[in-house]
Each structure stands twice: as structure tokens, then as C-alpha cells.
């Protein structure tokens, strides 16, 4: 039966029970209980007295955080500073060096010469053989140098000798004492790189003050061609094949390493577009096209190339409408290079090639663009070889056998 209170006054004759008798034992019990919780409970999770699920729940709760409404907002986070990129950079950095271009100049009175640093750049140690180290850098970094010094990652300076340089590829090879060298870079391949994959540039932007600087980005484009005008006459003298990246490449980075996420060399940093409205467009020489040049410079000090004697451009640089209206190409042609000019007395001139001829094959191999033509010409042919050139003129296919000369 429940208790029902109709607000009657309490019975004044009802005797109250005495309750003071429990006070002392109760207080002792509370004190003993507090001591047990304080001393014994923290040790229970490490013992076998609690079930496993209780222990796991306790550990989880200790790592949780809550907002003002009591909602869980945080969980246990493990932070590992050592990442793949930091490990790769640590391994590669000793193989990336500074290159000092030192030139002799007369003093004010013209009575004696002084040696001054005319410029700085970067380089990559790609080989050590029998105590001798070999460094690849850009030709424009060492151009005009009387002597060259290489600055290692630990700031040790070593005199170096220029074995050779090549204007068109913008590559140069140095030789120096390898006794102080701590690392050699691992050569990768640029053939299979993909747009969007990570790219890391290492070099010395703005001089040795910022030596071994690292910038990270992605591969922004492959098989780019950049026109270069060496004699400043307003007409391109060469089309440089480059890798495009948004990893920062600044003055002083030239000649440094562009590596992939595995720490392999995929390019030699070369240039950037330096315009106020442009940001994050840098270029590197693909290592696959650079290595034959590097080896030739190391062995002979110069590069000799087979020579057709034509200035060419890829068809993809021409509006599609011009393929039909100006070049008169058949509908089934989907690539090639067109001739813009023919050098007098060149091999191409001797067989009668003309402006606006469209080359589609060399010795039966398809030529879709300038890179295809140069790859066949420079990697598969030698000076003095004969090559069958298939081309279109006014919509008609023709062939010419050309004996390659030296450039």
C-alpha cells in the first residue's frame, strides 16, 4: 500500500527514534571506502581482478575528450614526424651540391686579376668511379667560368673541372675528387611519370645562403616543348623537351635534382617562367633524354648530333583547320611535324625538301611530334647513316633518302 499524505499535522505524542548511534561507524565506513577507491582502484586494471572488457573501456575513456555538451570530440592520435618524404630527402640531399662559377676579372687599374663568383647554381653527383666524382649541372650555370668549385652538403668546397657542356640540352658535366663525397643519386626514369604524381626539387635557390632547399609539388605536364632562342634574333633555335612541375624552381636551383617519391632522379631542374602573372610553372630536363648527353660529355667533352637541316614544329601546334586548308593533309593523318624552314646546303636541302612539308615517318617509324623525331634521330641514328623520310606535300605522300650530317 502506498503512502498518502492529506497534510495532517504530525502526531505530537509519537516518539522519535534516536539516530545518533550510527554516526561514528558510518563516518568510519565512508573514510575506509574513500581510501579503498584512492589506493586500490588504480591498481585493478593491471591485475587480473577485472574483466578484459572493463579494462579496455577504461583505457578508451581516458583518451577521449568531450565538448561542453558532453559529446565526444577527440580520439587518441599518434603523430609520426618521420614520413616517406623526409626519409627520401635525407637520403638524397648529400648528392645535391652547389656549383660556383668563378671568373677572373682585372682590377680597377688593370694591373692584376681578381677571381670573383660570377654566379651560383646546383648540381647532382650521379657517379663516383675510382675516387673520382662526376657532377651534372646546367650549361648556363658554368658558362664563361674560368674555374668551378663544387660545394658539398656539409659546405666543403672542392675544385672541379668542366669536362664539357652542350648548349642545346643545357647540360654540363664536371669532374672532381670524390674522397669527400657522401652520396650518389639513384638514377630513375622519366618515361613512365604521370601527371599528378609527387615531385620534389632540391637545390640552392638564390645562392648558397639557402643551400639544400627542398620544395614539393606534382608533375604538371610531360613531354612539353619550350622554344629557345640562343642568338636572340627573335626566332627559336631549338625546342627543349622538358617536364613541367609546380615544385618551386628559382634562380640557383638550376642544375639541381627533380626526384620522385622513391628518391630517384627523374629530371635536372633547368628553368621557370618568370612573369608577374605566372606562378608555379617550372621545368626540368627529363633524365631519359639527359643521360645519353651526359655520357657523351663525360667521354668526349662534346655532343655531336645527326643533322637533317630543317626547322620543324609539331602538328599539334597548328589549328586543325589549317591541316586541311593550308597543309592539305589527308583525313587519316593524325600527327607529324611540319617544316618551317630548310637550311641552305643542308642534307634536307640537297634532296629538295621545302617549307610546309609534313614529316610523318623516319625509316618507317611513326613521327607524331618533334619529340618522336628527335628520339629516333638522336638515339637510334649516327652521323653518316641514311634515313628514309616519309612526308606529305600538298596532300601527296613522298619519300626522300637523306644522308645525315653533323650539326
- The number of beta carbons lying within 10 Å of the beta carbon of residue 116 is 12
Residues classed as catalytic:
140, 170, 254
**Domain assignment of residue 116, yes or no:** yes
Q: Are residues 193 and 296 in the same domain?
A: yes
Is the Cβ–Cβ distance between 272 and 279 less than 8 Å?
Answer: no
Q: Which helix (H) or strand (E) holds 70?
A: none
Count: domains in the chain: 4
In a domain, 310, yes or no: yes
Residue 122, pLDDT score: 94
Inside any domain, residue 182:
no
Q: Identify the segments of the chain with pLDDT beneath 70.
A: 1-82, 107-113, 233-237, 272-279
Same domain, 200 and 173: no
Best CA proximity match to 350, nearest among 407, 406, 405, 391: 405
The answer on 310 and 292 residing in a single domain is no
Residues 280 and 338 in one domain: no
DSSP structure class, residue 286:
E
Q: What is the C-alpha to C-alpha distance for residues 117 and 307, in angstroms, rounded to an integer?
A: 37
Q: Is residue 5 part of a domain?
A: no
One domain, residues 112 and 146: yes
Q: Are residues 39 and 134 in the same domain?
A: no
Share of the chain above pLDDT 70, in %: 74
User: Which CATH number does the domain housing residue 347 bear?
Assistant: 2.30.42.10
User: Could you tell me if 92 and 117 lie in one domain?
Assistant: yes
The secondary structure of residue 342, as a DSSP letter, is: E
Q: pTM of the full predicted structure?
A: 0.66
Please report the pLDDT score of residue 4 as a whole number.
35
Q: In whole angstroms, what is the distance from residue 100 CA to residue 105 CA? A: 15
- Do residues 173 and 139 make contact, with C-beta atoms less than 8 angstroms apart? no
> Comparing C-alpha atoms, which of 90, 200, 185 is closest to residue 135?
185
Say what the pLDDT of residue 35 is.
Answer: 60
Query: 294 with 351, same domain?
Result: no
Is residue 1 in a domain?
A: no
Query: What pLDDT is attached to residue 53?
Result: 43
Output the pLDDT for position 12.
43
Q: Are 196 and 296 part of one and the same domain?
A: yes
> Of 177, 199, 226, which residue constitutes the final position of a domain?
177
Cell of 141: 650555370
Residue where a domain stops, chosen among 177, 197, 217: 177
- Residue 71 within a domain: no
Q: Give pLDDT, residue 324.
A: 84
pLDDT of residue 223: 83
Question: Do 153 and 241 share a domain, yes or no?
Answer: no
pLDDT of residue 251: 77
- CB within 8 Å of 206: residues ≥ 6 apart: 250, 251, 252
Q: What is the CATH number of the domain that holds 193?
A: 2.40.10.10
Contacts of 171 (CB under 8 A, 6+ apart): 136, 137, 138, 139, 165, 268, 285, 290, 293, 294, 297
The CA distance from 188 to 198, in Å, is: 14
Residue 59 confidence (pLDDT) = 41
Domain end call among 300, 315, 330: 300
Residues 195 and 293 in one domain: yes
Say if 14 falls within a structural domain: no
Asked, for residue 75, whether it belongs to a domain, the answer is no
Are 203 and 119 found together in one domain? no
Domain span holding position 30 = 20-64
Amino acid at each position: 500500500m502506498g503512502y498518502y499524505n492529506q497534510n495532517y499535522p504530525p502526531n505530537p505524542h509519537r516518539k522519535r527514534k534516536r539516530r545518533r548511534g550510527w554516526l561514528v561507524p558510518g563516518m568510519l565506513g565512508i573514510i575506509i571506502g574513500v581510501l579503498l577507491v584512492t589506493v586500490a582502484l588504480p591498481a585493478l586494471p593491471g591485475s587480473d581482478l577485472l574483466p578484459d572488457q572493463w579494462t579496455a573501456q577504461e583505457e578508451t575513456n581516458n583518451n577521449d575528450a568531450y565538448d561542453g555538451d558532453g559529446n565526444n570530440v577527440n580520439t587518441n592520435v599518434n603523430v609520426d614526424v618521420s614520413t616517406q618524404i623526409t626519409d627520401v630527402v635525407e637520403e638524397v640531399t648529400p648528392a645535391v651540391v652547389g656549383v660556383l662559377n668563378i671568373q677572373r676579372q682585372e682590377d680597377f687599374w688593370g694591373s692584376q686579376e681578381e677571381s670573383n663568383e660570377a654566379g651560383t647554381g646546383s648540381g647532382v653527383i650521379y657517379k663516383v668511379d675510382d675516387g673520382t666524382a662526376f657532377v651534372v649541372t646546367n650549361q648556363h650555370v658554368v658558362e664563361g667560368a674560368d674555374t668551378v668549385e663544387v660545394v658539398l652538403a656539409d659546405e666543403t668546397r672542392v675544385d672541379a673541372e668542366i669536362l664539357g657542356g652542350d648548349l642545346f640540352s643545357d647540360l654540363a658535366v664536371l669532374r672532381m675528387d670524390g674522397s669527400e663525397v657522401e652520396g650518389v643519386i639513384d638514377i630513375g626514369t622519366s618515361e613512365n611519370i604521370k601527371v599528378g604524381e609527387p615531385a620534389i626539387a632540391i637545390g640552392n635557390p638564390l645562392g648558397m645562403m639557402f643551400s639544400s632547399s627542398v620544395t614539393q609539388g606534382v608533375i604538371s605536364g610531360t613531354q612539353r616543348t619550350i622554344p629557345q632562342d640562343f642568338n636572340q634574333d627573335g626566332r627559336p633555335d631549338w625546342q627543349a623537351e622538358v617536364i613541367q612541375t609546380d615544385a618551386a624552381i628559382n634562380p640557383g636551383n638550376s642544375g639541381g635534382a627533380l626526384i620522385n617519391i622513391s628518391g630517384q632522379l627523374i629530371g635536372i631542374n633547368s628553368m621557370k617562367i618568370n612573369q608577374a602573372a605566372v606562378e608555379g610553372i617550372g621545368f626540368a630536363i627529363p633524365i631519359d633524354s639527359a643521360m645519353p648527353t651526359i655520357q657523351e660529355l663525360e667521354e668526349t667533352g662534346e655532343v655531336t648530333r645527326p643533322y637533317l637541316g630543317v626547322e620543324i614544329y609539331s602538328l599539334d601546334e597548328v589549328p586543325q583547320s589549317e591541316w586541311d586548308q593550308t597543309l592539305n593533309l589527308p583525313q587519316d593523318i593524325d600527327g607529324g611535324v611540319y617544316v618551317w624552314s630548310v637550311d641552305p646546303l643542308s642534307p634536307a636541302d640537297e634532296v629538295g625538301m621545302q617549307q610546309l612539308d609534313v614529316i610523318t615517318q623516319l625509316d618507317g617509324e611513326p613521327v607524331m611530334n618533334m619529340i618522336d623525331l628527335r628520339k629516333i634521330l638522336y638515339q637510334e641514328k649516327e652521323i653518316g647513316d641514311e634515313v628514309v623520310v616519309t612526308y606529305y606535300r600538298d596532300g601527296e605522300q613522298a619519300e626522300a633518302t637523306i644522308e645525315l650530317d653533323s650539326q
